[in-house]
């Protein structure tokens, strides 16, 4: 059953949202069957050369059952058909929102098509904290949607996601200098966390509808940031004042990242396409850039993603096709690999 990729739903329509899960089937029907392939995974660190490059390229979509940190994990991996044996490709981790799952994120973002167009590998990891009919991420020092704390014994998701690329490198031909993190809503907050806690693993991040600057943010390498957010988002409001994990505005989050990356104090503003404003902080340390695409009127959706049923958009707000987040963030990622001083 597909899930509605939302972090919070106002109390009134909760029952309606439950019924709407059945309407989201078309989002995942195009994905085709995925082979389930158990993998034993306990790797630590990242090899300088991906051991998966010795294996033939395995194009297509697979669902991997892993055990990492003592917890069973599910990860959907898509390899583009143009991949060739020995060709090291970029890897994008794409994390679902709270109450959703890996399969729903795959359909919700439509990123497999971008991976095929631009020849990169995309992986959709899944959380394990059960939430409604999906899962939440254990974002450090933050409550879950609704204000509850993660259950006792919940896994360390930062450790899981930081180890995951090295695990996938054993199976796929991955360029360790081109590992990136994106996600939606709760997954975007998780991507923000990875930028702080694992800047030597993830070359750049692209949070969608969930940019934050975690505190503390111990990473010392300036991390390039490419964020997207709609002004009509009713779940994680653009101007802040939301749930306990969502107090300050999205522009403030961008400013905090710019300060963390030691950028110039003033951002440049432009209109790359009607209805979209780009605010860009440049002159950052280490060649980083901090970009925020503000989409006028868009709700809690993935910009340029597959169409959602009207019953869903009535709750999440209006979608927008003014910008294609998948391809825009990929161009950003491709321009910002890890510096050779970090990993050769």
* Six token digits for residue 160: 């899981």
The predicted structure's pLDDT at residue 344: 59
Decide if pLDDT at 179 tops 70: yes
Q: Which of the residue ranges 105-114, 270-279, 284-293, 307-316 would you say has the lowest mean pLDDT?
A: 307-316
User: Which of 236, 230, 233 has the alpha carbon at shortest distance from 322?
Assistant: 230
Torsion from C-alpha of 92, 219, 184, 266, nearest 10 degrees? -110
The predicted structure's pLDDT at residue 343: 74
Portion of the chain with pLDDT greater than 90, in percent: 81
The predicted structure's pLDDT at residue 49: 62
The structural domains of the chain, with segments of one domain joined by +, span 14-334
Mark out the alpha helices in the chain (DSSP H runs). Answer: 14-20, 25-29, 102-109, 111-118, 157-169, 186-197, 250-260, 310-316, 325-334
Mean pLDDT of 329-333: 98
Decide if pLDDT at 284 tops 80: yes
Contacts of 318 (CB under 8 A, 6+ apart): 232, 297, 298, 299
Q: Give the C-alpha separation, 161 to 153, whole Å.
A: 17
Mean pLDDT of 91-117: 98
Mean pLDDT of 18-27: 37
Q: Give the C-alpha separation, 122 to 81, whole Å.
A: 13
Tell me the CATH number for domain 14-334. Answer: 3.40.50.1820
The predicted structure's pLDDT at residue 132: 84
Decide if pLDDT at 158 tops 60: yes
Mean pLDDT of 178-205: 98
Tell me the pLDDT band of 1, cut-offs 50, 70 and 90: very low
Is there a cis peptide before residue 128, judged by omega within 30 degrees of 0? no
Residues 25-45 have pLDDT tens digits of 333 333 333 333 433 333 333
Decide if pLDDT at 103 tops 80: yes
Residues 242-268 have pLDDT tens digits of 999 999 999 999 999 999 999 999 999
Decide if pLDDT at 50 tops 90: no
Helices (runs of H) and strands (runs of E) counted in the chain? 9, 13
Mean pLDDT of 202-217: 98
Packed helices 111-118 and 325-334: angle between N→C axes, nearest 10 degrees:
40
Tell me the pLDDT band of 115, cut-offs 50, 70 and 90: very high
Mean pLDDT of 219-230: 98
C-beta of residue 254 within 8 angstroms of C-beta of residue 290: yes
The predicted structure's pLDDT at residue 58: 82
Strands (DSSP E) contained in the chain are 35-40, 60-68, 71-79, 89-95, 121-125, 129-131, 134-136, 174-184, 204-208, 225-230, 268-273, 276-281, 290-295
The predicted structure's pLDDT at residue 341: 84
The predicted structure's pLDDT at residue 3: 40
Decide if pLDDT at 21 tops 50: no
* Six token digits for residue 194: 């990875």
Tell me the pLDDT band of 56, cut-offs 50, 70 and 90: confident
What number of residues does the chain have? 344
User: Which of 130, 127, 131 has the alpha carbon at shortest distance from 139?
Assistant: 127
The predicted structure's pLDDT at residue 43: 34
Torsion from C-alpha of 103, 331, 225, 130, nearest 10 degrees? 0
């Amino acid at each position: 059953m597909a899930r509605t990729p939302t972090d919070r739903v106002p109390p009134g329509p909760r029952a309606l949202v439950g019924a709407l899960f059945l309407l989201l089937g078309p989002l995942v029907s195009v994905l085709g069957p995925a082979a389930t392939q158990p993998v034993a995974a306990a790797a630590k660190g990242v090899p300088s050369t991906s051991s998966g490059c010795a294996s033939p390229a395995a194009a297509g979509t697979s669902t991997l059952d892993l055990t990492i940190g003592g917890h069973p994990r599910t990860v959907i991996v898509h390899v583009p058909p143009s991949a060739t044996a020995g060709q090291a490709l970029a890897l994008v981790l794409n994390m679902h929102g709270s109450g959703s799952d890996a399969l729903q994120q795959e359909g919700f973002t439509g990123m497999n098509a971008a991976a095929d167009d631009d020849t990169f590998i995309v992986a959709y990891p899944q959380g394990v904290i059960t939430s409604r009919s999906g899962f939440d991420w254990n974002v450090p020092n933050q409550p879950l949607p609704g204000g509850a704390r993660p259950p006792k014994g919940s896994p360390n998701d930062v450790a899981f996601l930081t180890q995951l690329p090295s695990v996938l490198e054993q199976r796929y031909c991955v360029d360790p200098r081109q590992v990136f993190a994106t996600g939606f809503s709760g997954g975007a907050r998780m991507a923000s966390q990875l930028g702080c806690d694992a800047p030597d693993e993830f070359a750049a991040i692209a949070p969608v509808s969930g940019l934050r600057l975690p505190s503390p943010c111990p990473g010392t390498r300036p991390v390039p940031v490419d964020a997207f957010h709609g002004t009509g988002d009713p779940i994680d409001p653009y101007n802040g004042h939301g749930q306990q994990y969502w107090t300050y505005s999205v522009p403030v989050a961008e400013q905090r990242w710019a300060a963390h990356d030691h950028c110039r104090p003033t951002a440049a503003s432009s209109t790359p396409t009607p209805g979209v404003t780009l605010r860009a902080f440049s002159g950052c340390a280490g060649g980083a850039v901090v970009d925020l695409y503000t989409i006028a009127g868009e709700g809690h959706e993935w910009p340029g993603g597959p169409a959602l049923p009207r019953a869903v958009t009535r709750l999440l707000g209006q979608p927008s096709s003014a910008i294609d987040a998948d391809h825009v963030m990929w161009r950003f990622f491709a321009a910002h690999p890890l510096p050779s001083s970090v990993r050769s």
